[in-house]
């Protein structure tokens, strides 16, 4: 079948076979099909979607295009988690050492941030010396020794995803459930895991703005994971305001350390422990969520999780002393205190708007090739539901770029809405899809 016919078939709403998708995308990877035919195809997929069978085929073609890590010689439950991305989402930094201290093997690969959401790799790289680009043998060595490792996706692991993602990013074809599913799941399945918990964010600061689309994406990814024999559960969690109190790379590492020391903010700990408990359930260790959360809380209380984080940092070349002295992390030369211009109960804090403020401060990338400032970001002092007096401190903005100070201060204030009475309390954990 010619590339033209593949595009037309999808455009007209027909399903493509595994062979058709494979021939089409493999030829693209070899540069035998031009970008302009692929982008027309991607837009047709955006409008016409894919069946579950097609999404399985897509995922398999993407998986087969790269290399897979074989962890069969490492004993234990190999479970990972993945978040669709939010603002202030440092859950992985806490969970990876926490789960490893609970006996789970966590072979985590993550991405970099783009737009208003942060990426785990960027956060890790704010730790002086930390190497996110381990070789496969170093990665496996780490898993054998300390049961966890956190690295970035390498091009050889997912070359087709890399090529497709770069094209989707400039052709408005990112937000397509089958394309997101293929991208995420082909990368996660290449890790050699046996279980996966997906944190599907929903709300103002998430890619999925409403429950219907979050549910659709969660269902699609869960189905694909299970179709490949990886036990997969998704949990839909709220992303209307930033998660925790810190937004920005080194600031989030600091907050993660606080969490591992038992001093984490409620919303962040609620999400972290819930996902952790789901990982225990997926591993077959503890089916009951409340029991799982208790077990994990205990590992924080007795210091095991924090010790594991120290081991992880040390093994990956980072300075482990940051655990005791977070001030060794990069810090911004400029701190702007944002005072409230009114008094009242905070009704909402727009996570996307705050994510964009953080990006402008230097913590994120507007484009794939933008440089980031590891120390830039926001330290929140108040969150939704808090009562604030006029002139009280709402947050501190950290940056190295004096020019953005006033602009970001105004933008932050715009993102916060006040009212006379406390807003209705919203749940962080919305729905589990398994």
Could you list the residues that contact its own copies (CB under 8 A)? 3-4, 7-8, 11, 34-40, 42-44, 46-47, 167, 170-173
CB of 59 to its own copies, least distance (A): 22
CB of 141 to its own copies, least distance (A): 41
* Residue environment code for 187-199, b if the CB has 16+ CB neighbours within 10 A, otherwise e: bbbbbbbbbbbbb
CB of 172 to its own copies, least distance (A): 4
Our answer to whether residue 187 is catalytic in this structure is yes
In the set 112, 187, 215, 409, the catalytic residue is: 187
Q: How far apart are CA 87 and CA 79, in angstroms?
A: 24
Output the CA torsion 262→268→272→275 (10° steps): 160
Residues 336/405, Cβ–Cβ less than 8 Å = yes
Q: What's the order of all strands across the beta sheet hosting 344-349? A: 387-388, 344-349, 416-419
In the set 80, 89, 122, 161, the catalytic residue is: 161
Considering the complex, state which of residue 5 and residue 302 has its C-beta at the smaller distance from its own copies: 5
Q: How far apart are CA 286 and CA 273, in angstroms?
A: 13
Our answer to whether residue 183 is catalytic in this structure is yes
Q: How far apart are CA 200 and CA 243, in angstroms?
A: 14
Considering the complex, state which of residue 25 and residue 257 has its C-beta at the smaller distance from its own copies: 25
CB of 182 to its own copies, least distance (A): 18
User: In angstroms, what is the C-alpha Rg of the chain?
Assistant: 21
Considering the complex, state which of residue 170 and residue 287 has its C-beta at the smaller distance from its own copies: 170
Q: Measuring CA to CA, which residue among 231, 227, 272 is closest to residue 83? A: 272
Our answer to whether residue 161 is catalytic in this structure is yes
Q: How far apart are CA 108 and CA 103, in angstroms?
A: 15
Instruction: Look up residue 68 and give its two tokens.
Output: 């897979």
Q: How far apart are CA 340 and CA 393, in angstroms?
A: 6
Considering the complex, state which of residue 11 and residue 295 has its C-beta at the smaller distance from its own copies: 11
Residue showing tokens 């770069």: 166
The count of other CB atoms within 10 Å of the CB of residue 79 is: 27
Judged by DSSP in three states, 73 sits in coil
Considering the complex, state which of residue 172 and residue 333 has its C-beta at the smaller distance from its own copies: 172
* DSSP states of 211-250: HHHHHHHHHHHHHHHHHTT-EEEEEEEE-SS-SSSEESHH
CB of 40 to its own copies, least distance (A): 4
Q: How far apart are CA 167 and CA 75, in angstroms?
A: 39
The count of other CB atoms within 10 Å of the CB of residue 397 is: 26
CB of 41 to its own copies, least distance (A): 8
In the set 77, 82, 123, 409, the catalytic residue is: 82
Our answer to whether residue 101 is catalytic in this structure is no
Residues 397/408, Cβ–Cβ less than 8 Å = yes
Our answer to whether residue 168 is catalytic in this structure is yes
Residues 215/180, Cβ–Cβ less than 8 Å = no
In the set 123, 168, 231, 293, the catalytic residue is: 168
Q: How far apart are CA 423 and CA 349, in angstroms?
A: 12
In the set 39, 154, 176, 183, the catalytic residue is: 183
Residues 83/191, Cβ–Cβ less than 8 Å = no
CB of 7 to its own copies, least distance (A): 4
CB of 21 to its own copies, least distance (A): 16
Considering the complex, state which of residue 6 and residue 363 has its C-beta at the smaller distance from its own copies: 6
Considering the complex, state which of residue 306 and residue 360 has its C-beta at the smaller distance from its own copies: 360
Considering the complex, state which of residue 39 and residue 250 has its C-beta at the smaller distance from its own copies: 39
Q: Measuring CA to CA, which residue among 355, 330, 339 is closest to residue 247? A: 355
Considering the complex, state which of residue 11 and residue 18 has its C-beta at the smaller distance from its own copies: 11
CB of 99 to its own copies, least distance (A): 38
Catalytic residues: 82, 161, 168, 183, 187
């Amino acid at each position: 079948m010619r590339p033209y016919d593949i595009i037309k078939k999808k455009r007209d709403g027909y399903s493509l076979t595994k062979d058709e998708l494979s021939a089409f995308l493999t030829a693209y990877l070899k540069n035998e099909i031009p970008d302009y035919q692929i982008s027309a195809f991607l837009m047709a997929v955006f409008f016409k979607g894919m069946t579950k069978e097609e999404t399985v085929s897509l995922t398999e073609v993407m998986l087969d295009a790269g290399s897979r890590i074989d962890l069969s010689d490492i004993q234990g439950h190999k479970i990972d988690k993945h978040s669709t991305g939010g603002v202030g989402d440092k859950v992985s930094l806490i969970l990876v050492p926490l789960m490893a201290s609970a006996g789970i093997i966590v072979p985590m690969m993550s991405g970099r941030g783009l737009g208003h959401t942060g990426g785990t790799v960027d956060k890790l790289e704010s730790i002086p010396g930390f190497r996110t680009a381990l070789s496969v043998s170093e990665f496996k060595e780490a898993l054998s020794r300390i049961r966890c490792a956190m690295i970035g996706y390498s091009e050889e692991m997912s070359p087709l995803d890399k090529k497709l993602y770069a094209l989707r990013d400039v052709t408005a074809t990112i937000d397509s459930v089958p394309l997101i599913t293929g991208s995420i799941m082909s990368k996660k399945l290449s890790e050699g895991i046996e279980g996966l918990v997906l944190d599907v964010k929903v709300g103002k600061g998430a890619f999925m703005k409403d429950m219907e689309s979050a549910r659709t994406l969660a269902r699609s990814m869960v189905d694909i994971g299970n179709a490949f024999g990886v036990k997969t559960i998704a949990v839909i969690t709220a992303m209307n305001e930033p998660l925790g109190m810190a937004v920005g790379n080194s600031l989030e590492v600091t907050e993660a350390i606080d969490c591992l020391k038992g001093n984490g903010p409620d919303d962040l700990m609620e999400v972290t422990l819930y996902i952790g408990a789901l990982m225990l359930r997926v591993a077959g260790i503890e089916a009951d969520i409340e029991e799982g959360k208790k077990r994990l809380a205990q590992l924080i209380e007795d210091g095991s999780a924090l010790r594991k984080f120290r081991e992880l940092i040390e093994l990956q070349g980072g300075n482990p002393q940051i655990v005791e002295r977070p001030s060794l992390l990069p810090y911004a030369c400029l701190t702007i205190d944002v005072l409230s211009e009114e008094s009242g109960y905070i009704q909402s804090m727009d996570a996307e708007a705050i994510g964009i403020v953080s990006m402008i401060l230097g913590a994120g990338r507007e484009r794939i090739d933008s440089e980031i400032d590891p120390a830039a970001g926001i330290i929140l002092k108040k969150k939704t539901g808090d009562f604030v007096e006029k002139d009280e401190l709402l947050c501190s903005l950290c940056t190295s770029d004096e020019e953005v100070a006033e602009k970001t201060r105004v933008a932050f204030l715009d993102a916060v809405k006040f009212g006379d009475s406390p807003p209705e309390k919203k749940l962080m954990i919305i729905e589990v899809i398994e």
